[in-house]
Each structure stands twice: as structure tokens, then as C-alpha cells.
């Protein structure tokens, strides 16, 4: 049953990414792929939070697998971020490529760390 729920959550996460990315792209028309960046940051924050809950024994492992691996695995996207970085390089926007590639990775790691920290603040 966990595998079925994980697959369903992954599909829902991918659909959510599609919608959120579209909404962000409508608002921010820049060369920098803000949709992907914000999706990956928010997903990293939530995954860190869930991991923190799991580490403290406050979340069951199946929930972590379904929400973390399933939904957030479908919602976030390292491969799209990588391709967008390559496209920025190909278009001669090396500075934006560095911001996108290295900057978003660093901020995502900080967001995951923050998520774990937030989970530790709970009673």
C-alpha cells in the first residue's frame, strides 16, 4: 500500500510543480528560472522539516516516504534546474548560470537545514 500511495503522491507533486511553476512564470518574466528555484527551496524546507520530525520520532516512516519521497520527489526537480543552468550558459548568461546552479543549491541546503531546525522547535 505504501508504494501505491508513494506513486500517487509523486504524481500529485509533479502536478503541483507544474501549476506553481506556471504561476511564478506568469508573475516573474526573467531569464532566471525563479519557478524552479522557489519550488526547490520550498521542497527542501519541507523535506528538512519532515526529516527532523522523523529523527525525533514524531512522524511515522511511511508518512516520510509518501510525503518526502513521493510528493516532494515529484514536486522538486534537480534535473530541470540542471538543464536550465545549461540553457543559461548556452545563451551567454554565465553569471545567471552560476547563480542558478551554485546559488540555488546552496540556498536549498540551507532551507533543508532550516526545516530540520524548525522541527526541533516543536514540543
Contacting residues for 11 by C-beta, under 8 A, at least 6 apart: 74
Segment 29-88, tens digit of pLDDT: 999 999 999 999 999 999 999 999 999 999 999 999 999 999 999 999 999 999 999 999
What does each C-alpha distance from 19 to 15, 24, 25, 101 come to in angstroms?
Answer: 6, 9, 10, 23
Task: Indicate yes or no: pTM above 0.75.
Answer: yes
Contacting residues for 67 by C-beta, under 8 A, at least 6 apart: 9, 46, 50
Amino acid at each position: 500500500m505504501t508504494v501505491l500511495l508513494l506513486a500517487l503522491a509523486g504524481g500529485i507533486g509533479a502536478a503541483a510543480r507544474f501549476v506553481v511553476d506556471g504561476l511564478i512564470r506568469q508573475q516573474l518574466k526573467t531569464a532566471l528560472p525563479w519557478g524552479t528555484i522557489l519550488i526547490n527551496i520550498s521542497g527542501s524546507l519541507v523535506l528538512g522539516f519532515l526529516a527532523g520530525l522523523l529523527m525525533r520520532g514524531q512522524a511515522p516512516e511511511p508518512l516520510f516516504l509518501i510525503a518526502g519521497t513521493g510528493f516532494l520527489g515529484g514536486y522538486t526537480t534537480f534535473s530541470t534546474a540542471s538543464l536550465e543552468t545549461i540553457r543559461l550558459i548556452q545563451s551567454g548568461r554565465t553569471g545567471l548560470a552560476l547563480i542558478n546552479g551554485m546559488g540555488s543549491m546552496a540556498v536549498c541546503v540551507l532551507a533543508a537545514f532550516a526545516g530540520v531546525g524548525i522541527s526541533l522547535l516543536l514540543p
